[in-house]
Amino acid sequence: MRKQIAAANWKMNLTLQQGEQLLNDIVAAQNTLNDNQLAIFAVPFPYLTMAQQKLNGQKNMFVAAQNCYNKKNGAYTGEVSVEMLQSIGIQYVVLGHSERREYFNESNQFLAEKINICLEYNITPIFCCGESLQIREANTQNEFVRKQLTESLFHLSAEQISKIIIAYEPIWAIGTGKTASNEQAQEMHAFIRQQFAEKYGETTANEISILYGGSVKANNAKDIFAQPDVDGGLVGGASLIATDFVTITNALK
């Protein structure tokens, strides 16, 4: 069975003390995760070591970085390398989030370079893809997402691609007042899986976890996760509330 994953993206939120309390509350309230279930916490860079310590010994709970650079080291003031992340035991990193693409102009090719270096250092990328409202309204979302996958991932071998986690973000349904239905989520997840099947075969495609990143909340997680090609969620605001995030993890298949 594919890994079912609740990934918390704290973004640029919380003080160190608030982050510590949040993790304490989640650990205290969290039911034991099944062998095929993971909770991953993408915390700001200054909190990585704290989060590692808080989750030490917790079954199937891991820490992720929210980004990394595409170079191993060098004169890149303010950037963080995968070599640094690996040296403190980080196993996951979020790449290509819609906010990184929009605010920092990260291209598909730039992300391909990040993907390569993460795999070189045995860090699992959580690769984000998804379309804007303009693209959805033009009904060209499939072509757009296919291009993201092709240009950032499809140079990889089948063995490499099986190590990637995908997160689909319907940007058009985040903060716009529009809502993505469960059927729309399933439709795009199935489309993404089909792209992997066409490139790498059905067996490999069926091993890849595809998360939904369209405003997953405590009150909709169970219905969204019930869709056959949805393998959990990349959770934003609801991941900052302990009871909500625990409810979301409990909704995993």
Neighbours of 241 (CB within 10 A): 16
Burial of 219 (0-12, 13-18, 19+ CB in 10 A): exposed
> Both tokens of residue 87?
């040296």
> Both tokens of residue 118?
């993460």
> Both tokens of residue 35?
């062998």
Which residue is catalytic, options 99, 106, 131, 169?
169
> Both tokens of residue 137?
């309204």
Which residue is catalytic, options 97, 99, 106, 131?
97
Positive or negative CA dihedral for 250, 37, 127, 231?
Answer: negative
97 carries an active-site annotation: yes
> Both tokens of residue 114?
């990040």
Q: Are strands 210-212 and 4-9 parallel, antiparallel or unpaired?
A: unpaired
> What is the per-residue DSSP string for 113-162?
HHHHHHHHTT-EEEEEE---HHHHHTT-HHHHHHHHHHHHTTTS-HHHHT
79 carries an active-site annotation: no
Q: In angstroms, rounded to a whole number, what is the distance separating the alpha carbons of residues 1 and 253?
A: 10
* H-type alpha helices, the chain: 16-29, 48-55, 82-87, 98-104, 108-120, 133-137, 141-152, 158-161, 182-200, 202-205, 221-225, 242-250
User: What positions carry a catalytic annotation?
Assistant: 97, 169
